Amino acid sequence: MNYRGWAHYVGTKRTIERGSEDNSPRRHAVVFNPARLEFIWRPNPWSPQPTLVYSILSFLNTTKYPMSLQYLLMTIGPALVFLALTEGVENRGIAGIILTFGSVLFFFYIVHIYLIHFLSLVTIVISGRSWTDYIITAEAYLNQITPDFGYPLYVVYLVWALVLVIMYPLCKWYRAYKKSHPENRLLAYI
């Protein structure tokens, strides 16, 4: 078992908990760059490459599993800096939309999975296939029955935007419902 990864997790969790006390979330991004440049906290050391693009990609190529301190600093750090900088933003415009989604994350997560599956089934039926084609078995994969299965990347982005547009009113309603029923403690988790 990788106890070092758990130590990174516990330390990061404690730093996040203390973040409001001493503004420490800003330190994460500041710590990542020197930690990566100094080739410390292995297992995936950074090394200069022949071109600038490859050097940047090598710099950002951290190890997610087993959990590494560099990965935590690279992913959670900028998010915490963003949160620290936008803490006093009013609930209007883009900030209001982000706050709406952010206050009902678990609700968004559960509902969007069912919405995406429903949209994919509708898309499959509209394209002239049977809904059972959506169930990809090992046999279908090995026999390459579905080589033309899927859509171009721009369609994926359009579906992503559509899901966000559909989810926003639902999340806004659920956020208002959550605020109007503080006696129901279970809503705090959903």
Tens digits of residue pLDDT in 55-113: 888 877 777 776 677 777 777 778 778 777 777 777 777 878 888 888 898 999 999 99
In the predicted model, is pLDDT for residue 165 greater than 90?
yes
> In whole numbers, what is the pLDDT of the chain averaged over residues?
75
Contact 58, 46 (CB under 8 A): yes
Ramachandran angles phi, psi of 140, nearest 5°: -65, -35
In the predicted model, is pLDDT for residue 160 greater than 70?
yes
Q: What is the SS3 assignment for 39?
A: coil
% of the chain residues with pLDDT over 90:
18
pLDDT at 9: 59
107, exposed or middle or buried, with CB in 10 Å at 0-12, 13-18, 19+? buried
- Report the distance separating Cα 73 and Cα 80, nearest Å: 10
Ramachandran angles phi, psi of 47, nearest 5°: -145, 145
pLDDT at 28: 47
pTM of the model: 0.59
Q: Give the pLDDT band (50/70/90) at residue 44.
A: low
- Report the distance separating Cα 99 and Cα 90, nearest Å: 9
Q: State the Cα torsion 160-162-163-165 to the nearest 10°.
A: 120
Q: Looking at the chain, how many residues does it have? A: 190
Contact partners, residue 89, CB within 8 Å, separation at least 6? 95
Measured N-to-C along each axis, helices 69-85 and 3-22 cross at an angle, to the nearest 10 degrees, of: 20
